[in-house]
Structure 1
Amino acid sequence: MHPLLIAVALCFGACAGPLLVRAAYRLSVPPGEPWRRACPAGHPLAPHPKGWLGPGRCADCAAAIGGPGPTADDGANDAAVGGPGYGTSPLRLAAVTAACCAALAAAVGARPELVVWLLAVPVVVLLATVDLAVQRLPDVLTLPLALGVVAGLGIASLFDAADGDLGRALLGGAVLSGVYFVLFLINPLGMGFGDVKLAITIGVALGWYGWDALVLGTFVGFLLAAGYGGALVIARRAGRGTTVAFGPFMAAGALAALIVAGLAS
C-alpha cells in the first residue's frame, strides 16, 4: 500500500469531479442536437474553457434572484426551484471520481501507467454521466480519450517500472472494439456505436495487463448490465424491449478488472 499516493489520488479525484458538472450538462442532449449553450433559464454560458469546467452555477441567475454566489450545493435541486444551480450534484461527481482514483492508486501503486488511469478517470466519469442522462457517448469524448490513453501508455512503456505491454494493449483495443462492433451490427438498438468507440479505450487499458484482464472486465460489465436490467424488469420499471445506458457498466467492469490486475501484478 502507498498511503501518500492514495491520498494524492483521492484529492485529485475530489477536485476533478466537481469540474465535470458544466460539461455533463452541456453534453447531455439527444443525438443530432447541438450542445447546450445556455443555463436552464436561458443565460448564455461562458466561452471555452470556463463555460465547460466548473460547478453548475449561473451567476446571472444568482444576481437575478438576489442570492449568494456559487456554493457547493446540489445544482439539480436549485434548478428545480428556480435557483442558480443546474446539472448533476458536484458532490456526487466528486465522490465517484475520488473513489475510483483512490482505488486505482491502491491497486496499481507507483507505476507509470497509474498516471494514465488517473487522467482517464474524470473523462470516463463524464461519459458515464452523459450516458445515464441521454444514453449517448459523445465522439468529442470517446475518440480523444482513446488517443490519450494510447499515447499515455506509449510514454509509460518507456519506463522500466511499467507493468504492461503496449503491443498487447493496442491489440486488445482492436479486439474488444471489434467484438462490440459485431454486437452493434447484430442488435443496434441494444448496443450503441458510442459503446463501440468506448470499447477501444477499455480494450487498450485492459489489454495492457493481459487477456485475462480483458475477459474479466468485459464479463463484469455485461454481468452488471444484465443484473441492472433484470432488476428493472422485476420492479416493473422496464420491459423486455427497454434499452439502458451500457457505458457506465462497461466502465465499472473495466475498473474492477484494472483493480484486480493491479493487485495481482
Structure 2
Amino acid sequence: MHVVVAVWCAAVAGLLGLGVPRLIRWLPEPEAGTSSAVDKIPYAEVAAAHGLLWKGAAASAAAGAVLGGALGADWSLLFLLYLCPVGVALGYVDWRLRLLPTALIRPSYLIVGVLVVASGLLMGEPRRLVAAALGLVILRAIYWLLWRFTPGMGFGDVRLSGIVGLALGFLGGTALLVGGYAGFLLGVLLWVPMRLLRLTTDRSFPFGPFMLLGVLVGAVWQAVAA
C-alpha cells in the first residue's frame, strides 16, 4: 500500500468533499410538471442535512485514501480524485431522492473526459484512451439495455454508467469487468439485508451509490491484479 500517496489523496479529496453541500445546493430544481418534480424534496433542504459537511468530506477522503493507497502516484488520480466529491454528492442525492441529477452528470462527462485524455498523454499511453472510450460505450450499452427491459431502473443510472465506464475502462479491462459487476453485487448484498431488517421501507432502489462504489472496487482489484 502506498501510504504517503493515500494520505495525500485523502487530504485533497477531503478538502474537495467540503464542497458537497454547496454542490448539491447549486443543482437546479426539475421543471414543474415533470415526473422528477413530483413530491421532490428541494435540493437546498437535502444540502442542509445535519452533518453533511463533515460526512461528505469524510466519505470523499475515505475514497481518496483507498484510490491513492491502491494506485500510488498514478496520473489516473487526476480524474479519480475529481470523482470522489462528485461521486459522494451524486450518491447522497440518489440515496435521498432516488434521482441522479443530469445537471451534475452532464458536465462531469466533459471534465472527466478532459482529465482522462490528460492522464493518458502524461502517462505516454494513448491506448488507454481507446480503452476508456470502449469502457464508456460498453457499460452505457449494458445499462441502456437494462433500462429498456428492466422495470424500475431510471435513466439517470444509464447516464452515470458512461462516466463509470470511462474511468474503469482507462484503468484496465479487469477494472471494467470487476468494477462494473461489483455495482450489481454490492447492491444485492447491501440492499436486500436492509429491506429484510426493515432499515428501509422504500421499494425503489438507489443504484447510483453502488455503481460509484464499484469504481473503488474495480480500481483496487486492478491494482492488486497488476
Per the TM superposition, whether the score is higher than 0.5 is yes
- Match of 1:22, SS? helix
Amino acid at match of 1:262: A
Whose helix proportion is higher, 1 or 2? 2
- Match of 1:136, SS? coil
Amino acid at match of 2:212: A
Q: Matched residues in 2 for 1:248 and 1:28: separation?
A: 21
- Match of 1:199, SS? helix
Corresponding position of 1:70: none
Q: Structure 1, residues 60-116: CA drift from partner, whole Å, max 9, x if none?
A: xxxxxxxxxxxxxxx52xxxxxxxxxxx52221111100100111111111211121
Corresponding position of 1:195: 157
Report the RMSD for the aligned CA atoms in angstroms: 2.8
Corresponding position of 1:43: none
Gapped runs of 5+ residues in structure 2?
Answer: 31-35
> How many residue pairs align between the two structures?
220
Q: Matched residues in 1 for 2:179 and 2:64: separation?
A: 17
Deviation at 1:204, TM superposition (A): 0.9
Is the CA contact 2:16–2:85 (under 8 Å) kept in the aligned structure 1?
yes
Q: Structure 1, residues 183-202: CA drift from partner, whole Å, max 9, x if none?
A: 1111241x110100110011
Aligned positions of 1:172-183 closer than 5 A = 172-183=135-146
Corresponding position of 2:105: 142
Q: Out of 27, 30, 37, which is 1:32 matched to? A: 37
Deviation at 1:37, TM superposition (A): 8.2
Bigger CA radius of gyration: 1
Q: Matched residues in 1 for 2:195 and 2:41: separation?
A: 32
2:119 matched to 1:156?
A: yes
Deviation at 1:229, TM superposition (A): 2.8
TM-score by length of 1: 0.74
Gapped runs of 5+ residues in structure 1?
Answer: 41-54, 57-74, 77-87
Corresponding position of 1:169: 132
Corresponding position of 2:33: none
TM-score by length of 2: 0.85
Structure scoring higher RCO (CA < 8 A, sep ≥ 6) equals: 2
Amino acid at match of 1:113: S
Aligned positions of 1:5-20 closer than 5 A = 5-20=5-20
Deviation at 1:12, TM superposition (A): 1.2
- Match of 1:158, SS? helix
After TM superposition, which residue ranges in structure 1, 4 or more long, deviate above 4 angstroms?
25-30, 33-40, 161-164, 236-239
